[in-house]
Amino acid sequence: MPTTVLDRDEWEPLMQAHRAAVEDRTRAHLLRRDRGEKHAVEDFLFEYYALTPGRLARWHPGPGVGLAGASRMPRAGWRHYVTLGDVVALDRAGFLEARGRTVEFVRGLLEATLSRPATLGCFGLHEWAMVHGLPENGVRHENWPLRLGAEGTDEVTRAHTIRCSHFDAFRFFTPTAAPLNTLQPTRETQVAHEQPGCLHAGMDVYKWCVKLEPVVPSGLTLDAFDLAREIRRLDMQASPYDLTGLGLEPVRIETPEGKAEYVSRQRDFAERSNALRTRLLGVLAQVSGGTPARMSP
């Protein structure tokens, strides 16, 4: 049974406010999609993390909260919800049966990340390593020019020490750039390498909220989305691409001034992502009830 039951006049305004907040954040993306336009920065949160604006707009109260008067509404048929008389609440036991392994993995990853100091000063060189040795018409965002051209970009990459700890960034390195990385992260070593200074690890807090839908309260998911969007902007501002046409001034990490700006913003993101990790761990503790999650075979 839920520990708290909200009457309909309590939870409906929360649901509507969340939907309005999501619509405000996704309106431009949906307009571009209807026009067949691509955005090198904003589309990432919907393409890579694979949660549609419609799904993001679904409001979830989180564990321990029941919604009175919701038994005849679509929510009653959503996966991992259960109806108890006229009250709809999360089916915690069913979720753990189905997603217990994911809960345990995410919990272990978040705890390991929080246990480490932020490693700063990578300067976003992972994006440079993703185009190393490629002609300008062969890069991922081929509609956007490289600020320094292909040769200048490769020169910056060679002149720096690349220390990318995040597998899901490293796996996109070009064959000529991968050996230049001081680490060779794999999926199996992800927990051992993850650290809070990594921009991609910060964006991934949103990914874990998405993967643990619907047990994560929507307020936390939306906070993680907002942070991921901010981080993505720095990620691409510090990249080798010239995105001034999108209103993004470059963070010129090839200069001392650019490096200083990058590290300052990176430190702020590390602190904010750690706060979200702590909140998410609190949710997982509620879900598992302080006991190990049951593992589905």
- List helix spans (H) across the chain: 8-35, 44-47, 53-56, 92-114, 125-129, 149-159, 167-170, 190-193, 199-211, 218-237, 256-288
Place of tokens 């949103």: 206
CA angle 13, 211, 120 (to 5 degrees): 105
pLDDT tier, 291 (very low <50, low <70, confident <90, very high otherwise)? very low
Q: What percent of the chain has pLDDT over 90?
A: 85
In the chain, where the domains are located = 4-288
Looking at residue 170, its pLDDT comes to 95
Q: What are the pLDDT digits (tens) for 209-229?
A: 999 999 999 999 999 999 999
- Residue 9: which pLDDT band, with cuts at 50, 70 and 90? very high
Secondary structure letter of residue 85 according to DSSP: T
261 near 97, Cβ under 8 Å? Answer: no
Residue 296: partners with Cβ closer than 8 Å, 6 or more residues away: 97, 98, 99, 100, 101
pLDDT of 21 reads: 98
142 or 171: whose pLDDT is higher?
Answer: 171
The pLDDT value recorded for residue 295 is: 30
Q: Which pLDDT does position 267 carry in this prediction?
A: 97
Given a contact cutoff of 8 angstroms between Cβ atoms, the answer to whether 5 and 87 are in contact is yes
Q: Which has more pLDDT, 197 or 42?
A: 197
Give the rounded distance of the alpha carbon of 61 from its chain centre. 20
Report field, pTM of the whole predicted structure over 0.85: yes
| The pLDDT of residue 175 is above 70 | yes
**Mean pLDDT across the stretch 88-94?**
94
Return the pLDDT at 294: 33
Residues in CB range of 243: below 8 A, 6 or more apart: 40, 41, 144, 236, 237, 250
Predicted local distance difference test score (pLDDT) of residue 228:
97
What does the pLDDT look like over 241-250, one tens digit per residue? Answer: 999 999 999 9
Residue-wise DSSP of 212-265: TTTTS-HHHHHHHHHHHHHHHHHHHHTSSB--GGGT-----TTSHHHHHHHHHH
Average pLDDT taken over every residue of the chain: 92
CB neighbour list of residue 173: distance below 8 Å, 6 or more residues apart: 126, 129, 130, 132, 164, 181
CA angle 280, 283, 286 (to 5 degrees): 155
Q: Using one digit for the tens of pLDDT, what is the confidence trace for 147-159? A: 999 999 999 999 9
Q: How far apart are CA 185 and CA 166, in angstroms?
A: 7
Asked whether residue 19 carries a pLDDT value surpassing 80, the answer given is yes
The pLDDT of residue 3: 86
- With 0-12 / 13-18 / 19 or more C-beta atoms within 10 angstroms meaning exposed / middle / buried, residue 117 is exposed
pLDDT value at position 293? 35
Section 15-19 average pLDDT: 97
| Average pLDDT, integer, range 30-53 | 88
Indicate if the pLDDT at residue 282 is higher than 90: yes
